[in-house]
Amino acid sequence: MAQRRYLRPGAQVFWRRPGESQIGVDPRCAVVVDGLDPVEQGLLEQLPRLGGEPDLDVYARELGVGRAPVRRLLDRLAGTGLLVTQPPLLDGPDDRYWHLAEVAGHPRPLRRGEACVLVRGLDLLGLRVARILAQAGVGRLLLEDDAVVGLDDLAPDGYRGSDLGHPRRQQAFRLLRAGSPMTALTAPAGTRPDLVVLVAHGAVDPVVVRPLVRDDLPHLPVLVRELDVVVGPLVRPGQGPCLRCLDLHRTDDDPRWPAVATQLTGSPPTGVETSLGWLAAAVAAHQALAVVDGRGVLLASASLEVSATYPLPRYREWAVHPACGCGGVDPTETAAEAVRPETEESPSSTTAGIDGRSRPS
């Protein structure tokens, strides 16, 4: 028996003119179907509502036109990538997105449900990162923070007033358990996370980072500063610059930086401006998902500095510091600044920096 065919969730049909309809509007996945007779065009318009071949057959019988027009229509759509041979079980926003992204050449991530991400630092920003990861389908989240909930952590989407003074980890666990009950929040002893997200304020404490390098754990810093949040670089020990490399580069520019950094790591967090906090959480979660999905990661050997005062992040590339000895490849260039091009496919020759000056990409 021939396989039954179903329209991908999220696909919409639009009438263009008699005999011509369009499925979708995004050029990366949209298809124009012409040469349709009135019956085929009517069936196509009903396909998103009915979902697939079985119900479309029933509808065709009710119209008295039989199954032949259904076969002709679905045969015409067979090469578009918009049909699947199994009825989609889920139809949420993420499911619809990835179904249509697959038509555009971006297969749905298959590893998220098996992935384990540790979020260390559960202020409001860290909690938002964890929530995005859970809602996006990461199967296991581990939470670490020894601090207690403070006033800056309170928000409609964050901790409540009743959480004040209670351990952040405990309250974050409760909120994630309620909001994402399918996400595992514990793990057997010895479980190695696929990625550690480090949320820090002012400077990243090297005492926290050292065990990650020793245990060869990939880690993504999310560093809150006075006027921006720096996401990255993604550190894969031995495969590029580490966070000590960044400190050494800064020390080259400012020999007293180590003294300042030591004071920063011991200072209390200061909170994050509202729009900046949302933007930084989204950028950090997006790159963390790219890691667990096995997709290309923008922040390998680079960081993004996001600000509440400018719409484009500053993209900064980093080289291994020759004095670090972290095992990365020896650098051929010093750290360079550029703004990331707007499209994935073709970088432009120059782009405007955050201060308005042009820089090479």
Quick one: 58 and 179 in the same domain? Answer: no
Mean pLDDT of the chain: 87
Quick one: 145 and 40 in the same domain? Answer: no
Quick one: 240 and 329 in the same domain? Answer: yes
Residues 97-128 have pLDDT tens digits of 999 999 998 888 888 999 999 999 999 999 99
Quick one: 189 and 254 in the same domain? Answer: yes
Quick one: 120 and 239 in the same domain? Answer: yes
pLDDT at residue 162 greater than cutoff 70: yes
DSSP 201-268: ESS--HHHHHHHHHTT--EEEEEE-SSEEEE--BB-TTSS--HHHHHHHHHHH-TTHHHHHHHHHTSP
Q: Which domain holds residue 33?
A: 6-103
pLDDT at residue 75 greater than cutoff 60: yes
Quick one: 94 and 206 in the same domain? Answer: no
pLDDT at residue 137 greater than cutoff 70: yes
Residues 56-73 have pLDDT tens digits of 999 999 999 989 999 999
Quick one: 295 and 356 in the same domain? Answer: yes
Read off the tokens for 176: 């994630």
Number of domains present in the structure of the chain: 2
The pLDDT > 90 percentage for the chain reads: 71
Write b or e for each residue in 311-320: b if 16 or more Cβ atoms lie within 10 A of its Cβ, otherwise e. Answer: eebbbbbbbb
Quick one: 193 and 58 in the same domain? Answer: no
Considering only residues 11 and 266, tell me which one the structure prediction assigns the higher pLDDT.
11
Q: Is 45 exposed, middle or buried (0-12, 13-18, 19+ CB in 10 A)?
A: middle
Residue that finishes a domain, picked among 103, 127, 144: 103
Read off the tokens for 308: 């509440």
